[in-house]
């Protein structure tokens, strides 16, 4: 199989919490390169996959990778937050498990043209859905300084965000902020970066914050999870993997609300009191997994 350079995170834990050996439909809301989906299909001949992604290139790659199982796979180019508005896409009464593996894949990160990586020279794009108009460049060029600072603080959990925003405002007037490398160099100046072992490059957080803003990654995630849980039949397993504390908090709170019965009958049993983290062995072979947190619940 062609290696597309993305290792699915928390594979065994995901399959175990999904109880993915049951026959039926598994809805993979973020199919990416189909890593988790492929494993479900290979291990369980009674499994069918409905896979969603809002990135066309990823969806094409997933289609290629899952081609050997194509009669058990349906793929849709869609933002998963909209899937409940199209009732016909998913045969809900056959659904046994739903996976939401948030963020981006290495396939996206490693393509310089997409502009997700501060280590690769490319345009300041960062869109998952390339039909969308807002790019990272547009945000950097048009947001007022205060708003930029807020984005970096909220989504990047960075300090000195006002200085960072000011520098961006100065550079953009001069037309000197066009590529990922321009932004990386600017960040290195603001944070007086000196490479050090085991220290995260400040551009990692700046790029993360911009990516979250470009793709509005946290928007309506909680509403989606709450609608999804109510839609699924009893016994459905929900598994959500997040890579950012704000994301994880939204998942945790949504699960808690649905399990508490604050608004009517409880609809979920939480299966993970604490989030499941990758083992040191997994982090060793896949450094991207280090911030992953998995939460799982079962529809009552
Ligand atoms: C971490 S990757 C998933 C990797 C996948 N589980 C695998 O094993 O290959 C996340 C994927 O979700 C997609 N994605 C993120 N947010 C999305 C959204 N709101 N709707 C649809 N797809 C989304 C991204 O484009 C990316 O391909």
Write the CATH number for 41: 3.40.50.150
- For residues 107 and 147, what is the distance between their CA atoms, to the nearest angstrom? 30
- Mean pLDDT in the chain? 95
Tell me the pLDDT band of 1, cut-offs 50, 70 and 90: very low
Cα of 196 vs centre of ligand 1, distance in Å, is: 31
When pLDDT is cut at 50, 70 and 90, the band that residue 4 belongs to is low
Domain stops at, among 152, 184, 215:
215
Closest CA to ligand 1's atom 18: 79
How far is residue 50's CA from residue 36's CA, in Å, rounded to a whole number?
A: 12
Q: What values do phi and psi take at 143, rounded to 5? A: -70, 140
Co-location of 95 and 19 in the same domain: yes
What is the CA angle 77-23-58, rounded to 5?
20
| Buried/exposed code over 171-188 (b: 16+ C-beta within 10 A; e: otherwise) | bbeeeebebbebbbbbbb
d(CA 90, CA 97): 12
- For the chain, give the longest Cα–Cα distance: 60
Please identify which residue in the block is written with the tokens 């989606």. Answer: 224
**Predicted local confidence at residue 140, as pLDDT:** 98
46 CA distance to ligand 1 middle (Å): 24
Do 232 and 187 share a domain, yes or no? no
Mean pLDDT across the stretch 27-43?
98
User: What is the distance in A from the centroid of ligand 1 to the CA of 203?
Assistant: 22
Q: State mean pLDDT over 105-116.
A: 96
Strands (E), the chain: 24-28, 47-53, 73-77, 95-101, 237-242, 268-270, 293-299
pLDDT class for 215, splitting at 50, 70, 90? very high
Q: Is the CB of 105 under 6 A from ligand 1?
A: yes
**pLDDT at residue 3 tops 80:** no
Q: In this structure, is residue 72 part of a structural domain?
A: yes
3 vs 135: CA distance, rounded Å: 29
Test site for ligand 1: of 8, 36, 49, 53, most ligand atoms within 8 A of the Cβ: 53
Centre of ligand 1 from the C-alpha of residue 163, in Å: 33
Strand partners, 26: 49, 97
User: Would you state the pLDDT for residue 2?
Assistant: 42
The mean pLDDT of 89-115, rounded to a whole number, is: 96
Q: What is the domain-level CATH number for residue 133?
A: 1.10.150.170
Boundary-marking domain end, from 215, 239, 274: 215
Q: Would you state the structure tokens that stand for residue 266, as one six-digit string?
A: 């409880």
192-213: per-residue pLDDT in tens?
999 888 888 999 999 999 999 9
What is the tens place of the pLDDT at every residue in 128-170? 999 999 999 999 999 999 999 999 999 999 999 999 999 999 9
Ligand 1 pocket, residue 55 CB under 6 Å: yes
Assess whether pLDDT exceeds 50 at residue 100: yes
Domain containing residue 168: 114-215
Could you report the per-residue pLDDT of 224-281, keeping only the tens digit for each? 999 999 999 999 999 999 999 999 999 999 999 999 987 789 999 999 999 999 999 9
Last residue of a domain, one of 155, 185, 215: 215
- Average pLDDT (5-14) is 91
Q: Which residues contact 257 (CB under 8 A, 6 or more apart)?
A: 226, 263
184: CA distance to ligand 1 center in Å?
25
Q: Distance (Å, rounded) from C-alpha 112 to C-alpha 116?
A: 7
33 Cβ inside 6 Å of ligand 1: yes
Same domain, 189 and 224: no
Please state the domain count of the chain.
2
pTM of the complete model = 0.96
């Amino acid at each position: 199989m062609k290696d597309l350079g993305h290792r699915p995170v928390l594979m065994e834990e995901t399959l175990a919490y999904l109880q993915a050996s049951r026959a039926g439909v598994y809805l993979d809301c973020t199919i990416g390169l189909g890593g988790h989906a492929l494993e479900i299909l290979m291990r369980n001949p009674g499994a069918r996959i409905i896979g969603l992604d809002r990135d066309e290139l990823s969806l094409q790659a997933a289609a290629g990778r899952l081609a050997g199982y194509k009669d058990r796979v349906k793929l849709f180019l869609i933002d998963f937050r909209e899937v409940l508005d199209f009732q016909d896409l998913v045969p809900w009464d056959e659904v046994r498990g739903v996976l939401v593996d948030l963020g981006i894949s290495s396939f996206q990160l490693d393509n310089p043209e997409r502009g997700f990586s501060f280590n690769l020279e490319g345009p300041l794009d960062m869109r998952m859905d390339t039909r969308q108009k807002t790019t990272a460049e547009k945000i950097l060029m048009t947001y007022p300084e205060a708003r930029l600072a807020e984005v970096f603080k909220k989504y990047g959990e960075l300090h000195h965000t006002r200085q960072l925003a000011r520098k961006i405002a100065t550079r953009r007037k001069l037309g000197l902020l066009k590529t990922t490398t321009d932004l990386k160099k600017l960040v290195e100046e603001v944070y007086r970066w000196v490479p050090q072992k085991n220290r995260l490059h400040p551009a990692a957080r700046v790029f993360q914050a911009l990516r979250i803003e470009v793709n509005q990654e946290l928007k309506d995630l909680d509403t989606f999870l709450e609608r999804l849980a109510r839609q699924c039949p009893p016994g459905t397993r929900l598994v959500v993997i997040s890579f950012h504390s704000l994301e994880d908090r939204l998942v945790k709170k949504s699960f808690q609300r649905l399990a508490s019965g604050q608004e009517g009958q409880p609809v979920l049993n939480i299966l993970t009191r604490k989030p499941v983290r990758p083992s040191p062995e997994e982090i060793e072979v896949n450094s991207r997994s280090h911030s992953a947190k998995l939460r799982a619940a079962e529809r009552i």
